[in-house]
Amino acid sequence: MYNIGNSNTIIETRISTSSCKKLWAAVLLAQWDLVFKSSKKKSHFALRFPTGDVMAARRWFGGRNFSIVCDLAGVDPEYVLDRFEEKLRAHGGMA
């Protein structure tokens, strides 16, 4: 909840930690799905020759913003990145 007074400031009154973690986990999952679910609809061809959006999502994994999102979601970035690279290799993509 936010208490908005007559100024342009928003005062934090109560925010659920678990809700915030769920939000950031959803961001992480959206990037994961962009890489892997889009390829399921097409074929292994999509993992070998991805679109621009998929390439951007692939590059996101392991980057600074990826690490921040993992921290905010409460998950270990190295663990997630290892699973991502394993799955990418298993599906014929290059890690």
Confidence (pLDDT) at 53: 85
Confidence (pLDDT) at 76: 98
Confidence (pLDDT) at 38: 63
User: Distance between CA atoms of 24 and 45, rounded to whole angstroms?
Assistant: 30
What residue ranges of the chain have pLDDT lower than 70? 1-13, 38-50, 93-95
pTM: 0.71
What's the 3-state SS for 50-83? CCHHHHHHHHHCCCHHHHHHHHHHCCCHHHHHHH
